[in-house]
């Protein structure tokens, strides 16, 4: 179940990123608002249909807030990078989030990280540097750093999702709370810096929001049903989806260093996945 959910989330988030970029030259905050507002409506309707409570379980409010702050920061960084980098570059920098989720899970919820896993995290960081290319000659350096920091923030958010799942919180409430929080956070930026949108831009942002809702529900289900070490490798399927869509839709062709970075990060993810299977003696995902 966890594997299926995380693959589905990759497809949905690739669709979201594509529609966000197709929406054109709009402020990042405006894109974030509409993406989350649509997702909030989807989550609200699903909660009403399921007759879910909108009240978090005792003690979970602070973790919902932390998850939401991290999610907003991650999304702003990701959207900023999407508008300025190749789609696959932006997606790969955001896919540093599983490595950060592993680190944060070890620190805050005491999920064990073995020495070889720590090595994989360090090497993956070096792979990210190949994509970022931290030199003053890189005109997209700031966008690359924003994408990387967005991945870090998203990793923290997914750690909170995992912890909330362990505490028995409803996944639909997690999605609704995050979407409502991020919409409220972005509203002042929208009011003071609103840019007129054509009907095509309205359509692309509505589709981005619909894809985001599917992605949020899928990834929330994945991280609440399985530890990050069991499913994180499958999250990298999104980079493949993004590379194909980026080439077909936008004509994106990453440079050699970016491909080296992809290979390093994906290689470390695969190595960590198979190492975990061997060390734990378990199947790649839990049945639920």
- The pLDDT tens digits of the residues spanning 210-238 come to 998 888 788 778 867 777 667 766 777 78
Task: Give pLDDT, residue 284.
Answer: 46
The whole-angstrom separation of Cα 136 and Cα 142 is: 10
Task: Give pLDDT, residue 229.
Answer: 64
Cβ(130)–Cβ(261) below 8 Å = yes
CA distances to 81, 86, 141 from 134, in Å: 15, 16, 6
Q: What is the pLDDT of residues 168-189, one digit of tens each?
A: 899 889 989 999 999 999 999 9
The separation between CA 120 and the C-alpha centre of its own chain, rounded to angstroms, equals 20
CB atoms within 10 A of CB 250: 13
**Tokens 């997209």 found at:** 140
What residues in the chain have per-residue pLDDT under 70?
1, 134-138, 223, 228-229, 232-233, 280-288
Cβ(36)–Cβ(264) below 8 Å = no
pTM of structure: 0.79
The whole-angstrom separation of Cα 100 and Cα 222 is: 16
Sign of CA dihedral 69, 71, 72, 78: positive
């Amino acid at each position: 179940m966890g594997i299926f959910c995380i693959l589905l989330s990759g497809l949905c988030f690739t669709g979201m990123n594509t529609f966000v970029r197709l929406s054109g030259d709009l402020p990042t905050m405006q894109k974030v608002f509409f993406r989350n507002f649509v997702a909030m409506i989807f989550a609200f309707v699903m909660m009403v249909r399921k007759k879910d409570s909108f009240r978090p379980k005792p003690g979970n409010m602070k973790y919902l807030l932390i998850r939401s702050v991290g999610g907003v920061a991650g999304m702003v960084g990701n959207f900023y990078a999407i508008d300025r980098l190749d789609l696959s570059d932006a997606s790969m920098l955001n896919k540093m989030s599983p490595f950060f989720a592993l680190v944060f899970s070890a620190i805050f919820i005491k999920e064990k990280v073995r020495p070889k896993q720590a090595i994989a995290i360090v090497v993956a960081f070096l792979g990210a540097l190949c994509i970022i290319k931290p030199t003053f000659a890189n005109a997209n350096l700031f966008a690359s750093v924003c994408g990387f920091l967005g991945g870090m923030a998203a990793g923290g958010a997914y750690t909170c999702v995992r912890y909330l799942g362990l505490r028995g919180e409803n996944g639909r409430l997690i999605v609704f709370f995050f979407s409502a929080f991020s919409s409220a956070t972005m509203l002042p930026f929208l009011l003071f810096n609103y840019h007129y949108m054509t009907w095509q831009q309205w359509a692309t942002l509505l589709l981005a929001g619909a894809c985001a809702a599917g992605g949020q529900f899928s990834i929330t289900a994945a991280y609440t049903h399985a530890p990050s070490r069991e499913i994180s490798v499958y999250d990298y399927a999104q980079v493949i989806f993004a590379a194909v869509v980026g080439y077909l839709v936008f004509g994106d062709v990453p440079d050699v260093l970016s491909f080296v970075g992809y290979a390093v990060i994906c290689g470390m993810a695969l190595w960590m996945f198979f190492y975990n299977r061997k060390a734990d003696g378990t199947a790649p995902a839990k049945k639920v």
